Structure 1
Amino acid sequence: MNDGYTALWLGLIGGILYITGWRERNDAAPPAPVLLLLLAAAVWLHAYEWPIGSGIRISGSAALLLVCLMAYVLTRGNGGETALLAACSGLAGLLWVWIRCMYAADPVFVLIRPEWDGPLLAGAAAGLLSDKARLHYAIAAAAAAAAPLSGLLQPGLSQPAAEIGGPAWWDGLALAALAARLTGCARLLLRQASERVNGSRLKQRGGNS
C-alpha cells in the first residue's frame, strides 16, 4: 500500500463517525465549522515545508496540527495535566524512536509491519497513560513528531527520511491515534467492569451481614 492511503482511509472512517454523532462521545472533537476551517488551512499549508534542525523538515499541515493540538490541551488543562502530557509524550516518543532504531539495526523481529509497529505501540502507550481523549491525540502527535529523530541517532543506517508531515508520517500518526483511542476505550471498559464486580461483591456482603 502506498504511503498516505492508511491515513486517508482512517480519516474517512473518522469523518463518517463524526457526522453520525460520534462527536458527542468524544471530548476532543471540535465543532464542525472549526474542523472544516482547520482542514482547509491544512490543505493550503501542506505544500509548504520548513527545515527544523539538522536534516529534518516539517510541512505546514503538520505544524498546524501540532500547534493546534498543544494549544488546545494547554488552554483546557492545568499545570498537572501539562506535566502529564510532557511526561507521557516523552515516553511514547522514546518508544517509537527506539523501535525505529531497532528495526533499522536488525529488522528481524517484526510484530506486524516495520512501519506500523512503532505507531501502534506508541499509541497503545498513550491510551494506557491517560484517560482523556484530547491527551491521547496530543501524546500521539508529539510521539509522531519525535519519531524522525531516529534517523539522527543512527545516521549510518538506512532509515525513512526525517520528514514531519509527509504521507508516511501521516500514516503513522493516524495509526498511533487509532491505537491510543482503542486502548483508552478498552482500559475504560475494563475499569467499569471491575467497578461493577466490586460493587456487586459489596452488595452481597452487605446482604449477608
Structure 2
Amino acid sequence: MIPGYISILLLLIVSILWATGWRDILLPNMRTGWTAAVALAIAVLLAFPLWTSPIASEPAVEVHVSAWLLLAASAILLWRTAQDSQRGYLMLCALMLAIVWGSARSLYSHETMFYWMDPLWDMPLLAGLLCGAFTSDSRHQLVLVAWGAALGEFVVALFREGVIHARIGAWEWWDSVAIAFCSAVAVTVLLKAARAVGVWISAAWMYVRGGRSS
C-alpha cells in the first residue's frame, strides 16, 4: 500500500463526518479552529523534506518538522486541558504505550508470522484500544497517540542491532498515528453507545416491572 494513503483516507472521512455534524459525537472536546489550523499546517509541512536530527551523536534518528508540530500541539493540549493529577498519569500512559508499541514493532521486524490482522495495522489498533481504556477524552487520546508513536520509534531503534535508525514523521508513521487515533475514538464512541443502550434497557425494564406491579 502507498505510504500516506491511509492517513489521507482517514482524514477525508473524519473531515466529512465533522462537516456533517458528527463532531459532537466523535470529537466533542476538539475545537474546530484549532484542529483545522494544526491539520492544515501539518499538511503543508509534509510537502517539504524538512528533517531534523535531535540527537547529534545519532544522525540516523530523524524527526520531521510536521511531527515536531504535532508533538508541540499535543504537549500544549496536555498542559492546558489536564489537571495536575492527570498529567503524570497521562505521561505514564504515553510511556507504557511507547514501550508496547516499540516492542511489538520490533517483534514484527524479526518475525512477521505472528500477526493478528496485518503488521501495519496491528500495533496502531492495539494502541487505539489501550488509549480508549486509558482515557475517554479525545484530546488526551491525541496526546497519548502522538507521544506514544514518537517514543515508540526510539524503542524500536534501541531493539535493532547495529546502526540506530528512526524516521519520526514519515508517511508510514503518520499512517500508524491516524489508525491509532481513529481506533481510540471509535472505542470511546462504542463504549458510550453501549452504556447508553444499557441505560435505556435498564430504564425500559424498570418501567415494565413498574407497570406490572401497579
Structure 1 length as normaliser, TM-score? 0.86
Structure-2 residue corresponding to 1:190: 194
TM-fit CA distance, 1:205:
7.3
Segments of 5+ residues of structure 1 without an aligned counterpart are none
Q: Does 1:27 align with 2:28?
A: yes
Structure 2 counterpart of 1:41, one-letter code: A
The structure 1 residue matched to 2:167, chosen from 147, 163, 170, is 163
Structure-1 residue corresponding to 2:96: 91
Q: 1:117 to 1:42 in 2, by over 3 A?
A: same
Asked whether the 8 Å contact 2:5–2:175 carries over to 1, the reply is yes
Asked whether the 8 Å contact 1:56–1:148 carries over to 2, the reply is no
Q: 1:132 to 1:36 in 2, by over 3 A?
A: closer
Structure 2 counterpart of 1:73, one-letter code: L
Structure-2 residue corresponding to 1:172: 176
Q: 1:29 to 1:150 in 2, by over 3 A?
A: same
Q: Secondary structure at 1:21's aligned position in 2?
A: helix
CA distances 1:184-206 after superposition (whole Å, capped 9, x unpaired): 11222233333445555666777
Q: Does 1:103 align with 2:108?
A: yes
TM-fit CA distance, 1:91:
2.3
Q: 1:78 to 1:153 in 2, by over 3 A?
A: same
CA distance in 2, matches of 1:118, 1:157: 24
| Superposition CA RMSD, Å | 2.5
The structure 1 residue matched to 2:139, chosen from 134, 140, 151, is 134
TM-fit CA distance, 1:73:
2.6
Segments of 5+ residues of structure 2 without an aligned counterpart are none
Asked whether the 8 Å contact 1:7–1:170 carries over to 2, the reply is yes
CA distances 1:21-45 after superposition (whole Å, capped 9, x unpaired): 223332333224x344323432443
The structure 1 residue matched to 2:76, chosen from 64, 71, 77, is 71
CA distances 1:137-156 after superposition (whole Å, capped 9, x unpaired): 22111211122123322222
Give identity over the alignment, percent: 26
Structure 2 counterpart of 1:29, one-letter code: M
Q: 1:50 to 1:158 in 2, by over 3 A?
A: closer
Asked whether the 8 Å contact 2:99–2:155 carries over to 1, the reply is no
Q: 1:150 to 1:21 in 2, by over 3 A?
A: same
Structure-2 residue corresponding to 1:148: 153
CA distance in 1, matches of 2:81, 2:23: 17
Asked whether the 8 Å contact 2:97–2:130 carries over to 1, the reply is yes
Structure 2 counterpart of 1:72, one-letter code: L
| Paired residue total | 207
